[in-house]
Chains A and B, each alone.
Chain A
């Protein structure tokens, strides 16, 4: 589903990703951990080409994607992303947030798009909030709308970048639940999170990123209980 080879990303003089190789198979859930600044967000953002890597190849859905040659808007349709700070559109209601891309990119009729959006809102437990604006929703509700918005494009992969870390502790559970359901439904997911419970329950693999390199790629159980790398041990003792 995703095959990354030799990915390098520089921001000016800063070398952020230093040769990433990563394979994610269909329906796999991969959790990505690592210290702040290790390049987790940058790696996710390279996967949907919000950042363009200087070196390396990215193959998505069996096709190698070449920025400048391939239409990146088409590619992004297949790769959903959920952000730490929700990034809902504040001037649109929940349902308008969800239908915006299907109507304007997939050219669905408004009725079709709204019907799908209602199903998705139901799925994330917000059927009664379709006309609420983001400012009327709690953090957990906003994030669930954001997940529904990404799902509305029927992506093949979903990327999650610390989607619960801006939430009050009591709201984390409802968002993780939606993600667990999504994983059970067979969605391919790459998730940056330090929620160990979530990782152990639903992830197939856990990856430790340090200073732009993957230093461990194993099962969540092993990564969290028996990390082989000294850096991973140190990092885990800090966050857990």
Chain B
């Protein structure tokens, strides 16, 4: 255990920098994944068979193959077409991976909105896409927050695999550290601790956000009760 504390202190600065990289990688890939996910959700919900099929195949392939294989495949695929720094290639590959799960989250959230909402909006003369943007999506996004938070946590942990593309994020920092200090057990334990703390902080933030949204709702309900009483 003494070694654990030593390693924690000794590698504090590189691990802190690596944490920054992990957070950057996670956020960039998740933002890209949300854009991609929303697009794929629309493909899946569209009436066009060919578009459905594209979304279907994409989701099936992502779900049906290991992430590390996808990362390597996409990394070499992407970098053979365009020259990209490994950070961006890695972010893009992670985004393409999470995008499939985010697409399913958005599709589920959009479908969970009562059909009467779209009908009411259309009956006022509002076009399909405007109704989607003004009526359906704001409600769907609220419902998507808890599963998206979950997906963010998964994405945070998955970003560790990008170390194999040469990005100096947390796991990458641990890889190089243990090669120098020959204490892999303690070093990986430190890296694990960093991930755990990040996930706990993020879980707390999501819970805060959720309870704030709940409070906004129950506040409204409380009003109703007092008015009736």
A89 in contact with B223 (CB, 8 Å): no
- Check A220 for interface membership: any CB of B closer than 8 A: no
- Kindly state whether residue B180 has any CB partner on chain A within 8 Å: no
How many of chain B's residues touch chain A, expressed as a range?
Answer: 20 to 34
A122-164 interface mask toward B, CB cutoff 8 Å, 1 = contact, 0 = none?
A: 0000000000010111100000001001100100000000000
Which of B120, B220, B227 has the most chain A CB within a 10 Å cutoff? Answer: B120
Is A207 an interface position by the 8 A CB rule? Answer: no
Q: Return the contact of A81 from the options B123, B126, B135, B224 (Cβ within 8 A).
A: B123
* A108 on the B face (CB < 8 A): no
B139 located at the interface, meaning its Cβ lies under 8 Å from any Cβ of chain A in the complex = yes
CB pair A100–B134 under 8 Å, yes or no, is yes
The answer to whether B135 and A89 have CB atoms under 8 Å apart is yes
The residues of A that contact B217 with a CB separation of less than 8 Å are: 135
Q: Are B125 and A101 in contact (CB under 8 A)?
A: yes
Q: Which of B31-39, B55-63, B73-81, B111-119 is near enough to bind chain A?
A: B111-119
For B123, give the chain A residue with the smallest CB separation: A81
Cβ of A222 under 8 Å from chain B: no
Q: Per-position contact with A for B106-140: 1 when CB-CB < 8 Å, else 0? A: 00000000101101111111110010001100110
A87/B119 in contact, CB under 8 A: yes
Shortest CB–CB separation between residue A189 and chain B, in angstroms?
A: 15
Residue pair B139, A91 in contact (C-beta under 8 Å): yes
Q: How far is the CA of A114 from the CA of B79 in the complex (A)?
A: 54
User: Does any Cβ of A come within 8 Å of B11's Cβ?
Assistant: no
Q: A48-B123, A89-B120, A146-B120 are in contact. List 5 more A-B contacts (CB 8 A).
A: A83-B119, A100-B124, A133-B220, A135-B224, A153-B125
Interface pairs (19), CB distance under 8 Å: A76-B123, A79-B123, A80-B123, A85-B116, A87-B114, A87-B116, A88-B120, A91-B139, A91-B142, A100-B124, A101-B125, A101-B126, A104-B130, A105-B124, A135-B221, A136-B224, A138-B228, A146-B120, A149-B120
